[in-house]
Structure 1
Amino acid sequence: MSGHVFVVGADLVRLSCDDVLVPTDRSLRVAPGWCPLLPASLVSGVVDDGACVDLRWSGDERVLQVPGDGERQVWLVDTVDGRGRDEEQHLEWLLDGARAALAAVARREVPRPAHGRARRLVGLPALGTGWGGAAGRRGALLQRLLPVLRDAALQHGFDVALVLRGPSDLAAAQRVRRGEEGSWDLPPQLCALARQLGDRARRGQLAVFVGAGVSAAAGLPTWERLVDELADASGLAAGLRDGLSALPPQDAAALLARELGRERLESFVAERFGPGSYALAHALIADLPVQEFVTTNYDPLVEQAAGDIGRDVRVLPFQEAAPGSPWLLKLHGDAAHPESVVLTREEYLQFGDTRAALAGVLHSLLLTRHVLFVGTSMLDDDLVRIAHQVRSAVQAPGSAGGRRNGTVLALREDPARARLWERDVETVAMGPADLRAAEAARRLEVLLDLIGCLSTPPTGYLLDPAYRGLLDEEECALADALTRAAAAVREDSASAAAQEVAALLRRLGSGSSAARPADGSTEVEDDRVQEQRPG
């Protein structure tokens, strides 16, 4: 079975992967931002320019496996050519390094991918765009690197995540992929769905609801597993423990909360659902050009993933929404504010009263947007109540009834549940009922990857000189005209009109190359630096 190549905005230090490729040179220097992936005992001489790794090359090899017992296997890849090759030879040399690295990764046996994923996931940056010297030819590199990654995924059967941090880099990579056939192994009906949802996202008509299934891919517990973990922590007597499974989930949680006490319960939630590595699905969702997100999850992984590509997601109701900024509504509370967590039957009942304003936000989205539900079984009492209220509103006398307000991405076919919700949402399964859950979840990731590709604005790299080679004749003429206009616009201008024009030019990639100094110390994508991008 062939693997898939994902293109995603993320931080490779925090993206959950089985293997990560880290760029280096013959002296085994790495950018300081990569150090959290390396055993502390192997890192020496950390300076502004880089950190030295206490290993040695063997002969002329270009790939070195880093010893360690972490959840991710790190591989050092030599991307700095000191032999004075011309541009074409240098680019091919970089691609040879990527091939050698992926072949070495394939030789390592991985009996069980991280967090039960169906295939192992190999993450890498755009190799060669930092010390490697290919920063000015990113367009040519992406056009050649993506086929190399696809060949490796086809040959070795693992999935690959090409991780890019800069908006122009992401936009350019998605343009390259849109021009290729067969990059997504999905049934025709899922490809058609991706086109519909991508179009809605591009036009600002899509909102996303994130359920617990998304965070399960990062190793966080589903509701059933959470009850088990709380039972372990509570030391509940065997007889009572056996009876927990017969109780409704909220009642089981109420009993466990009583045994633990509210203070211990809050402490458990704060620790268990605190910051950590996020799953590929978190990054794919955070990359979508969507402004409104809703979740019943307690963890901060969606906002972490968004922050790593420069999206300042405001978390409601704990932060104030900012004009033009995306926001995430946490319906059931936030681990950073454990006193807000909704868990027990009593708290669910209080939700209908004291948290009516929060439910109202989801009401509004279901009435004014198309809501994409990801990672939820649609059995949550609050979702049932909200959907019923919205249905009642749209079926009121004089209203246009019969419309569906969203799409549920289900892992496997469940005709009864789809029929139950058919008046409110369309339920689309990733596969038949006998499809393994892990394979269905992976197909969901591939679908999200395609939605992201189709919804990415095709202009984010227009004024970035590093991607000049991707432009056709008409686009080149347009880019030249806009570049002349950019020279007349002062970023510090007090004119509102100038500020609007400057913002537009930034969205078109103006200043992207200037934001990539030779020392690679910026927050945008660079194979030397993996540091959190400021919001």
Structure 2
Amino acid sequence: MSGHVFVVGADLRRLVCDDVLVPTDRSLRVTAEWGELLPADVVRSEDDDGLCLGLDWDGDERVLGVPGGRTGDTGRQLWLVDTVDERERDPEDALRWLVDGAREALAAVARRKVPTPVHGRARRLVALPALGTGWGAAAGQRGTLLARLLPVLHEGADAHGFDIALVLRGPSDLAAAQRVRRAEPDGWDLPEHLQQLARDLGERARRGQLAAFVGAGVSAAAGLPTWEQLLDELAGRSGLDDGLRAGLSRLPAQDAAALLARELGRQQLECFVKERFGPGHYALAHALIADLPVQEFVTTNYDPLVELAAADIGRRLSVLPFDDAVPGRPWLLKLHGDAAHPESIVLTREEYLQFGDSRAALAGVLHSLLLTRHVLFVGTSMQDDDLIRIAHQVRSAIQAPGADPRRRSGTVLALRDDPARARLWEQDVQTVAIAPADTPPAEAARVLEVLLDCIGCLSTPPTGYLLDPAYRGMLSEEERVLAAALEQVERAVPEEASSSAVGEVAALLRRLGSRACAPSGLPPDEASDPRDDRLQQQRPG
């Protein structure tokens, strides 16, 4: 069974996966940023050029598994891949040599058996950067490399049956890779109705009409508990006798939480939430959602994984209500509180009731999105009392006497077909089943990731690399002429401009891939393009 190739903006060091390919050379040197993934006993020395590893190649091989097997708490196996060719080659031969190394690496990875992928994922996930674009054989040829590398990754996913994530950091890289993918005839193994949905949601995102709601199902892929699992974990700490613990399952979830909060004490409950839902590795779905050109995010989750995934591609989200909303900066509303502020969490029946009073302003933000945007609901079963209340209030407002009929205000991506629940919500949102009712949950969650990948590709602006010299080879003749004209404008933009008009032009040039136009007086993520190049490009390999 074929795997899928994802393209995602993320930090490989923080992405939940089973295998990571790390670029190196014949001296087994890697850039320092990979140090946190390596076992300490493998690093022989460190200098300004990176880390030297105390390992040895076996003959002419180009792939070496890091001994010690799994690293960190996510079970990732590291593989070193030689991407620095010491021989003189013409550019075409150098690229061929490089992609042959990627093919060899995927074959080596496939020989390691992984009976159970991390956190119960349906398929093993292998992640790699754009090999060879730092020190390696494709330095300065990023566009050509992507056009050659992606077919090899598809070939590997087909041959070995695992999923592959090509992980990129810069907006130019993402825009160029998505352009290559849009030209592929069969890039997504999705039924036609899901491909049409991806086209619709991608168009909404490009036009600034889409907002995203992230539920607990997304964070489950990162190893965090669902609501029921959280209550079970709390019960294990509570000291309740077996009879009371058995009775918890017969109580409504919010009442069970109230009993556990009473037994544990509020302070212990808050300490547990802060520890359990603190910063950690994020799942592929977190990164795919954070990549979307969306300015407004809402979540009922306590964890910081959406904002971490966004930060890793240079998007700093204001987390409401704890941060100030800044014009031009995307934001994330924590509807039920934040683990970093454990006193804010909403868990018990009493806290849910208080939500309608003291936290009405937060609910009002979601009211506004449902009235003015199309909200994409991911990872939620739509059973949360607050969501039900908010949807009812919005429905009441738009069905006022004399009001025109309104379109449905959102799309719920349900893992499996549930006609009754879809009928229940049909006045408010369209519910789209990702898979038939008999599909295993893990496989349905994987199809959801493929759909998010497709939406991300179709929503990425196709111009983000126009002024990036590394992608000059991808441009058509017409685009080269335009890029040359824009480069003259680029050179005319002063470094310390105070004019708002100049700032607007500089922001446009950044959106087109310019690295010369730094924002004037504002951090890049507060300029008009939230996905700026503030973060350094990855430079391994």
Give the TM-score category using the shorter length.
Answer: over 0.9
TM-score (norm 1): 0.96
Q: How does 1:69-468 map to 2 (within 5 A)?
A: 69-70=70-71, 71-468=75-472
Aligned-residue offset at 1:526: 2.4
Q: Which residue of 2 aligns with 1:517?
A: none
Amino acid at match of 2:5: V
Separation (CA, whole Å) in 1 of partners of 2:330 and 2:232: 35
Aligned-residue offset at 1:496: 2.0
Aligned-residue offset at 1:188: 0.1
8 Å contact 1:23–1:527 — kept in the other structure? no
Amino acid at match of 1:31: T
8 Å contact 2:506–2:517 — kept in the other structure? no
Separation (CA, whole Å) in 1 of partners of 2:392 and 2:512: 43
Q: Which residue of 1 aligns with 2:36?
A: 36
Q: Which residue of 2 aligns with 1:66?
A: 66
Aligned-residue offset at 1:133: 4.0
Aligned-residue offset at 1:372: 0.2
8 Å contact 1:95–1:148 — kept in the other structure? yes
Separation (CA, whole Å) in 2 of partners of 1:109 and 1:482: 51
Q: Which residue of 1 aligns with 2:525?
A: none
What SS does the aligned partner of 1:23 have? Answer: strand
Separation (CA, whole Å) in 2 of partners of 1:525 and 1:286: 18
**Per-residue deviation, residues 202-245 of structure 1 (Å, max 9, x unmatched):** 00000000000000000000000000000111121111001010
Amino acid at match of 2:25: D
Amino acid at match of 1:75: W
Q: Which residue of 1 aligns with 2:528?
A: none
Q: What percent identity do the matched residue pairs reach?
A: 76
Aligned-residue offset at 1:131: 1.1
What SS does the aligned partner of 2:56 have? Answer: coil
| 1:40/1:512 CA distance change after superposition, 3 Å | farther
Separation (CA, whole Å) in 2 of partners of 1:232 and 1:491: 59
8 Å contact 1:24–1:30 — kept in the other structure? yes
Separation (CA, whole Å) in 1 of partners of 2:114 and 2:516: 38
**Per-residue deviation, residues 82-102 of structure 1 (Å, max 9, x unmatched):** 011111111111101100100
**Per-residue deviation, residues 15-73 of structure 1 (Å, max 9, x unmatched):** 00100000011111111110111111212312221011121111111000012232100
Amino acid at match of 2:98: L
Separation (CA, whole Å) in 2 of partners of 1:55 and 1:3: 32
What SS does the aligned partner of 1:343 have? Answer: coil
TM-score (norm 2): 0.95
**Per-residue deviation, residues 418-437 of structure 1 (Å, max 9, x unmatched):** 00000000000011100111
1:18 corresponds to 2:14: no
Q: Which residue of 2 aligns with 1:46?
A: 46
Q: Which residue of 2 aligns with 1:528?
A: 540
8 Å contact 2:495–2:517 — kept in the other structure? no
Separation (CA, whole Å) in 2 of partners of 1:401 and 1:522: 44
Separation (CA, whole Å) in 2 of partners of 1:35 and 1:512: 30
Q: Which residue of 2 aligns with 1:532?
A: none
What SS does the aligned partner of 1:136 have? Answer: coil
Separation (CA, whole Å) in 2 of partners of 1:498 and 1:194: 36
| Unmatched runs of 5 consecutive residues or more in structure 2 | 519-532
Runs (4 or more) in structure 1 with deviation over 6 Å come to none
Separation (CA, whole Å) in 2 of partners of 1:268 and 1:341: 12
Separation (CA, whole Å) in 1 of partners of 2:402 and 2:427: 18
| 1:522/1:361 CA distance change after superposition, 3 Å | closer
Q: Which residue of 2 aligns with 1:471?
A: 475
| Unmatched runs of 5 consecutive residues or more in structure 1 | 515-520, 530-535
Separation (CA, whole Å) in 1 of partners of 2:239 and 2:159: 49
Separation (CA, whole Å) in 1 of partners of 2:357 and 2:499: 47
8 Å contact 1:464–1:512 — kept in the other structure? no
Separation (CA, whole Å) in 1 of partners of 2:24 and 2:253: 50
Aligned-residue offset at 1:527: 4.2
Separation (CA, whole Å) in 2 of partners of 1:259 and 1:402: 47
Coordinate RMSD, CA, aligned: 1.4
Of 79-88 and 494-503, deviating more is: 494-503
Amino acid at match of 1:180: E
Aligned-residue offset at 1:513: 12
Count of aligned residue pairs for this structure pair: 523
8 Å contact 1:5–1:160 — kept in the other structure? yes
Amino acid at match of 1:178: R
Amino acid at match of 2:39: P
Separation (CA, whole Å) in 1 of partners of 2:22 and 2:333: 35
| 1:159/1:513 CA distance change after superposition, 3 Å | farther
**Per-residue deviation, residues 437-494 of structure 1 (Å, max 9, x unmatched):** 1110000000000000000001000011111121112111111110111111113122
